[in-house]
Chain A
């Protein structure tokens, strides 16, 4: 592989891994605090799945860069993270968490379906594997979106409020990475516009079906994954605290 394409692959893998890791961490904040026991377990499962996906992407990246996932995760500061702002936001109420997860899962489905045909085989294989779990995530979050959207006046209000707030954040998921044209040309990743169109084709009718108003498309909240919310540093401080007490050489 050409070195510039290789660098772009590593950047792509890092972006995907960071999104999964940070979202998984946010979801895990509900463990022990969800509104009902069964949902607590369900969301903890989803959180674990997202961490698992992050590990898969990090392991592929290691094959390219040699970077150890544990070091990349626990010894990198906020400004070096490449997560979208959507996943950094605090967990909010349950409607907020479900809307975020739904919008993210639907975007993942659109992306993974295409990545499963990637010309870079390790990505194609990982995408196919992750996609089977995402089918379940989408089913779970869709079921909740419908029940919240069509439930009580309060559940509808909270869900619509979350949707209105999160929409421009979700759109950042489709902002191409700096060297993405190289990867599209090499057949490694799909065109971002194509992924976004597929996402909107699924999400818009579904939201209307769930009794919600689809927000009007606006510019994404940020055009670069180098811009973070203030929430990321606080999240990382907590997530990295134990690892940094001991130093990177300690074995767990």
Chain B
């Protein structure tokens, strides 16, 4: 039995002039819990200004290879009577290890995920992009501006100590070194 909750993609904005960027994912029973879990898992120490979470199954994703090899995803046109709504578009950019990020490119108006993908491909630059994501804006749970003092700002006043700054670690290393020396003497 799968006991996991549904997966949510987490997007974090770290600087006013930076777009929201995919930080990873969390499991949660609903959007509000996903937002809280995202805060606890991803943003306790670094700077964070805003968080978004979206159910992973609401994300429509295409790699550039998939787009080049197969256009069947577009074969079912959007229901003409469906309401136009806002979609968020994201791009995975960069290829080098450690420099691969899914970042928020902007918004498009569409009647379906496929139409939103198509609009995103028309609207945004393809430079250095190798994966495209779109999701309906209404499925995204976002932190509010007035959440910042309780969700993000306490992290600023916390000292983040690397494990090697704790004296106990240093002492244990000395102890180990000491034991190793004793071992050598005995040989």
Which A residues contact B (CB, under 8 angstroms)? 36-39, 41-42, 45, 49, 52, 129, 132-133, 135-136, 139-140, 143, 147, 251-252
Tell me the dominant secondary structure on chain B's binding face. Answer: helix
A245 CB to nearest chain B CB (Å): 12
Interface membership of B142, Cβ < 8 A = no
- Beyond A36-B27, A136-B151, 11 additional contacts (C-beta under 8 Å) are A36-B4, A36-B5, A38-B41, A42-B36, A42-B37, A42-B41, A132-B150, A139-B150, A143-B33, A147-B29, A147-B33
| Assembly CA distance A41 to B168 (angstroms) | 24
| Assembly CA distance A36 to B4 (angstroms) | 8
- Determine which of B32, B154, B158 lies in contact with A132 in the assembled complex, contact meaning CB atoms within 8 Å: B154
Q: Are A38 and B28 in contact (CB under 8 A)?
A: yes
Q: Are B40 and A41 in contact (CB under 8 A)?
A: yes
A70 CB to nearest chain B CB (Å): 13
Known interface pairs A143-B33, A252-B166, A252-B167. Does A41 touch B150 (Cβ–Cβ under 8 Å)? no
Within 8 A of A (CB), among B136-186: 149-151, 153-154, 157-158, 166-168
A235 CB to nearest chain B CB (Å): 22
| Assembly CA distance A45 to B158 (angstroms) | 12
Q: Are B32 and A143 in contact (CB under 8 A)?
A: yes
- Chain B, residue nearest A49 (CB): B154
Known interface pairs A140-B36, A143-B33. Does A133 touch B41 (Cβ–Cβ under 8 Å)? no
Size range of the interface on B? 20 to 34
Within 8 A of A (CB), among B28-44: 28-29, 32-33, 36-37, 39-41, 44
Please indicate the chain B residues that have their CB under 8 angstroms from the CB of A36 in the complex: 4-5, 27
Interface membership of B26, Cβ < 8 A = yes
B165 CB to nearest chain A CB (Å): 12
Known interface pairs A38-B26, A143-B32, A252-B167. Does A136 touch B37 (Cβ–Cβ under 8 Å)? no
Known interface pairs A38-B27, A38-B28. Does A136 touch B154 (Cβ–Cβ under 8 Å)? yes
| Assembly CA distance A143 to B29 (angstroms) | 11
- Chain B, residue nearest A35 (CB): B3
A232 CB to nearest chain B CB (Å): 26
Q: 7 A-B residue contacts at CB 8 Å?
A: A38-B28, A42-B37, A133-B154, A136-B39, A139-B36, A251-B167, A252-B168
